[in-house]
A and B are shown apart, each in its own frame.
Chain A
């Protein structure tokens, strides 16, 4: 390992030395915690699936789509802006993956860089979604299209918002030396959560903008 990298990780290594080979409980419980977290993601997947299937049912059973309101057919959603905003979110998934990989290679400085990029892209996506809400031209009430759109994208946006807070907390924890080169389950869970949020958006992007 480069001397510079070791210098960067002085606090990190100090914690690693403290825990290394003495925290057998971590090794024993990591897998079960990981399994629990994957079950949490699956439960979240069921939550989204229930709303998604409700949307599909409402859409296929509607006489016309987009539905009519006061005699006028509602507009389609803006695909070009959504495509750009989707790429912002997908890009944040890649940067979070880079962050975790750099942590595994004990490069704390690059880890911070990619983590901050992820948080910035996540905030960028939320701002994009706020812009879309303000210009979409439909409301929550009145039509199944608006209700489905705001419920599902709002639920997803809430997950992104929580994810941004989650990643910020992880950054603070890293700064405090909570994680080491061999103990970083929180970072793994944060990365999985962020990838999950990205993948949910793949489904929503297809259903609302491309279908």
Chain B
């Protein structure tokens, strides 16, 4: 099997698992107060966004080069 397909498959499944975990953690921490909680929420949200990017890249929606 093509190595790129394996890499994309691993990235796809991993991005779903990590993204869902990040969103669940974000939801759990949503009501937390304080500077550290606010910064953590921002960074977790951006990390979840990164997982969406990785998911789209793995699905060849983004970064597909001719």
Q: Which residues of A contact B (CB under 8 A)?
A: 31, 34-35, 38, 41, 76, 78-84, 86-88, 90-91, 93-94, 97-98, 101, 188, 191-192, 195-196, 198-199, 201-202, 205-206, 209-210
Complex Cα distance, B40 from A196, in Å, reads 9
Q: Which residues of B contact A (CB under 8 A)?
A: 4-5, 7-8, 10-11, 14-15, 17-19, 21-22, 25, 35-36, 39-40, 43-44, 46-47, 49-51, 53-54, 56-58, 62-65
Contact between B7 and A84 (Cβ–Cβ < 8 Å)? yes
Query: A86's contact among B11, B17, B22, B35, by CB below 8 Å, is which?
Result: B11
Which chain B residues lie closer than 8 Å to A205 at the CB level? 50, 53-54, 57
10 contacts between A and B (CB under 8 A): A41-B39, A83-B7, A84-B8, A86-B11, A94-B18, A94-B22, A97-B25, A97-B40, A195-B40, A205-B57
Contact between A80 and B8 (Cβ–Cβ < 8 Å)? yes
Beyond A192-B40, A205-B54, is A87–B35 a contact (Cβ under 8 Å)?
no
**Chain A residue nearest to B14 in the complex (CB):** A87
Complex Cα distance, B17 from A98, in Å, reads 14
Contact between B58 and A195 (Cβ–Cβ < 8 Å)? no
16 additional contacts, CB 8 Å, given A80-B5, A202-B53?
Answer: A41-B39, A78-B4, A79-B57, A79-B63, A81-B4, A83-B11, A87-B54, A90-B15, A90-B19, A91-B14, A93-B18, A93-B22, A195-B40, A195-B47, A199-B47, A202-B50
Which chain A residues lie closer than 8 Å to B44 at the CB level? 93, 97, 195
Complex Cα distance, B57 from A168, in Å, reads 32
Complex Cα distance, B24 from A48, in Å, reads 29
Which chain B residues lie closer than 8 Å to A86 at the CB level? 11, 50, 53-54
Closest 6 CB pairs of A and B: A202-B50, A87-B14, A195-B43, A83-B11, A79-B63, A210-B63
